[in-house]
Structure 1
Amino acid sequence: MLGWIEARTRTQKGALLVAIDLFLIPVAGLLALALFLGLSVLPTASGALAILPPIALLSACCSVLLGIPRIQLSTFEMAATGRAALLAASTASCAAILGWLAGLAVPPGAYVTFGLLFFLLSVVTRLALRGLIRYLKNRATPRLPVVIYGAGTTGVQLAQALKDHDHIMPIALVDDNPALQGLQVAGLTVLHPARLPRFAEPRGVRRVLLAMPSVPRGRQAQIATQLQGQGFEVQALPSFAQLVGTETLIDKLTPVSPDTLLGRDSHRIDVVSMGGIYAGKSVLISGAGGSIGSELCRQLIGLRPRRLILFELSELALYEVERELRVLMGSEGTEIVPILGSVTDPRHVQRVIETHGVEVILHAAAYKHVPLVEANPLAGLANNVLGTHTLAGAARKFGVERFILISTDKAVRPASVMGASKRLSEMVVRDLALRSQSTIFATVRFGNVLGSSGSVIPLFQAQIAAGGPITLTHEQITRYFMTIEEAVRLVLRAGALANGGEIFVLDMGAPVAIRDLARRIVEASGHTVRDEANPNGDIEIVTTGLRPGEKLHEELTSGSGLTVTTHPKIMTAREPGLTEIEVASALRALRSAVGAGDNQAARQVLARWVAHYNVPDAAQAGSQGPG
Structure 2
Amino acid sequence: MTNLLSQWLIALPRRRKVALMLSADLLALPMCFAFALFLRAGNFDLLVQYGITPPLIIAACTIPIFSLSGLYRTVVRYFDLRVLWTTGTSLACLVGLTYALSFLVHLDRLPRTGLLIYWFIAFAYVVISRFVARALLTRIQQKQKTQDERSVLRVGIFGAGEAGFQLAIAVRASLSHKAVCFFDDDIALSKSIFADLPVYHSSQMRNRISEHAINEVVLAVPSLSNERRRQLIDRLHRYSVSVRTVPSLLELVDRKITVQSIRDVSVEDLLGRDVVPPREDLFGKCTQRKTVMVTGAGGSIGKELCRQIASQGPQQLILFDHSEYAVYAIEQELSQRYPDLQITARIGSVCDASAVSAALRGQQVDTIYHAAAYKHVPLVEANMSEGIRNNVLGSSTVANLADHFSVQTCVLVSTDKAVRPTNVMGASKRVAELTFQAAAARANTRTVFSMVRFGNVLGSSGSVVPLFRKQIREGGPITITHPDVIRFFMLIPEAAQLVIQAGAMAKGGEVFVLDMGKPIRIIDLARTMIEMSGLVEKTRKNPAGEIEIKVVGLRPGEKLFEELLIGGEVTASGHERILCSNEPFIEEPELRKKLDRLLAACDTRDPLEIQIALQSLVPEYAPYSSLESARHETALTRPDETQSLQFPFRGMVSGRLMPSEGATDLNHASLSNSGEAN
How would you bin the TM-score normalised by the shorter chain?
A: 0.5 to 0.7
- Counterpart Cα distance in 1 of 2:455 and 2:323: 24
The alpha-carbon deviation at position 536 of structure 1 amounts to 2.5
- Matched ranges for 1:584-595 at <5 A: 584-595=592-603
Structure 1 523/589 Cα, relative in aligned 2: closer, same or farther at 3 Å?
Answer: same
Residues 1:161 and 1:206: Cα distance change in structure 2 (over 3 Å):
farther
Distance between the aligned counterparts of 1:327 and 1:437, measured in 2? 38
Residue 324 in 1 paired to residue 333 in 2? yes
Q: How does 1:71-470 map to 2 (within 5 A)?
A: 126-129=132-135, 142-144=162-164, 159-161=174-176, 230-231=250-251, 254-261=264-271, 264-271=273-280, 274-330=283-339, 332=340, 334-435=341-442, 436-470=444-478
Alpha-carbon spacing, 1:289–1:167, altered in 2? closer, same or farther (3 Å)? farther
Output the CA distance in 1 between the equivalents of 2:282 and 2:304.
18
Aligned pairs for 1:548-627 within 5 A:
548-560=556-568, 562-614=570-622
Gaps of 5+ in 2: 7-22, 28-75, 78-127, 140-159, 184-220, 225-243, 254-258, 627-678
Q: Distance in 2 between matches of 1:548 and 1:583?
A: 27
Aligned mates of 1:260, 1:615 — CA distance in 2: 34
Q: Please state how far the C-alpha of 1:311 moved relative to its aligned partner.
A: 0.2
Aligned equivalent of 1:493, options 501, 507, 523: 501
Structure 2 residue corresponding to 1:512, chosen from 520, 526, 534:
520
**Structure 1 pair 129/363, CA: closer, same or farther in 2 (3 Å)?**
same
Q: Which residue of 2 aligns with 1:622?
A: none
CA displacement, residues 367-421 of structure 1 (integer Å, 9 cap, x when unaligned): 0000000000000000000110001100001100000000000001000000000
Cα drift, residue 596 of structure 1? 3.8
Give the residue type in structure 2 aligned to 1:443: M
Query: Residue 344 of structure 2 aligns to which amino acid in structure 1?
Result: V
SS of the residue 1:418 aligns to: helix
Give the residue type in structure 2 aligned to 1:260.
L
Native 8 Å contact 2:515 2:578 kept in 1: yes
Structure 2 counterpart of 1:236: none
Q: Which residue of 2 is the match for residue 91 of structure 1?
A: none
- Output the CA distance in 2 between the equivalents of 1:320 and 1:289: 8
Cα 1:280–1:253 change in 2 (3 A) is closer
Unmatched runs of 5 consecutive residues or more in structure 1: 1-12, 18-30, 36-75, 78-121, 134-139, 149-154, 169-203, 208-223, 234-248, 619-627
User: Structure 1 pair 322/206, CA: closer, same or farther in 2 (3 Å)?
Assistant: farther
Offset, 1:146: 7.2
Give the Å deviation of 1:454. Answer: 0.6
Q: Distance in 1 between matches of 2:362 and 2:421?
A: 38
Alignment of 1:535 with 2:543, yes or no, is yes
2:421·2:623 contact (CA, 8 Å) conserved in 1?
A: no
- Following superposition, the deviation at residue 547 of structure 1 comes to 0.5
Structure 1 residues 612 and 158: CA distance shift in structure 2, 3 A: farther
Deviation at 1:431, TM superposition (A): 0.6
Partner secondary structure for residue 452 of structure 2: strand
Describe the SS at the equivalent of 1:445: strand
**Paired residues of 2:568 and 2:584 also in contact (CA < 8 A):** no
What TM-score do the two structures reach when normalised by structure 1?
0.61
SS of alignment partner, residue 278 of structure 1: coil
Instruction: Kindly name which structure, 1 or 2, has the bigger radius of gyration based on alpha carbons.
Output: 1
Amino acid corresponding to residue 410 of structure 1 in structure 2: K
SS of 1:361's partner is: strand
Contact 1:312–1:341 at 8 Å: present in 2 too?
Answer: yes
Q: Return closer, same or farther for 1:141/1:496 CA change in 2, 3 Å cut-off.
A: closer
The one-letter amino acid of 2:318's match is: I
Is the alpha carbon distance of 1:349 and 1:571 closer, same or farther for their aligned partners in structure 2, counting shifts above 3 Å?
Answer: same
| CA–CA distance in structure 2, aligned partners of residues 498 and 457 of structure 1 | 33
Structure 1 range deviating more: 124-133 or 504-513:
124-133
Residue 471 of structure 1 is matched in structure 2 by: 479
State the one-letter code of the partner of 1:127. A
Check whether the contact 2:385–2:605 (CA below 8 A) recurs between aligned residues.
yes
TM-score by length of 2: 0.57
**How many aligned residue pairs are there?**
421
Contact 1:528 1:539 in 2 (8 A): yes
Q: How does 1:19-34 map to 2 (within 5 A)?
A: none
Q: Secondary structure at the match of 1:437?
A: coil
Contact kept, 8 Å, 2:286 with 2:409, in 1: the verdict is: no
Instruction: Give the residue type in structure 2 aligned to 1:511.
Output: P
Q: Secondary structure at the match of 1:392?
A: helix
**Once structures 1 and 2 are overlaid, which stretch shifts more, 397-406 or 600-609?**
600-609
The CA deviation at 1:272 is 6.8
In structure 2, the CA distance between the partners of 1:509 and 1:142, relative to structure 1 (3 Å rule), is closer
- Which moved further from structure 2: 122-131 or 497-506? 122-131
Counterpart residue type for residue 531 of structure 2: E
Q: Distance in 2 between matches of 1:345 and 1:446?
A: 27
Identity of aligned residues (%): 42
- Answer yes or no: is the 8 Å Cα contact 2:286–2:366 preserved in 1: no
* Rounded Cα–Cα distance in structure 2 between residues aligned with 1:126 and 1:397: 71
Q: Residues 377 and 423 of structure 2 are in contact (CA less than 8 Å); yes or no, is this contact kept in structure 1?
A: yes
C-alpha distance in 2 between matches for 1:467 and 1:317 = 31
Structure-2 separation of matches of 1:410 and 1:448: 10
- 2:177 and 2:223 mapped to 1: Cα distance? 17
Give, in whole Å, the separation in 2 of the partners of 1:158 and 1:454. Answer: 41
What are the Cα deviations for residues 548-596 of structure 1, in whole angstroms up to 9, with x where unaligned?
Answer: 1111111111214532111110001242211222211121112222334
Aligned Cα root-mean-square deviation (Å): 3.8
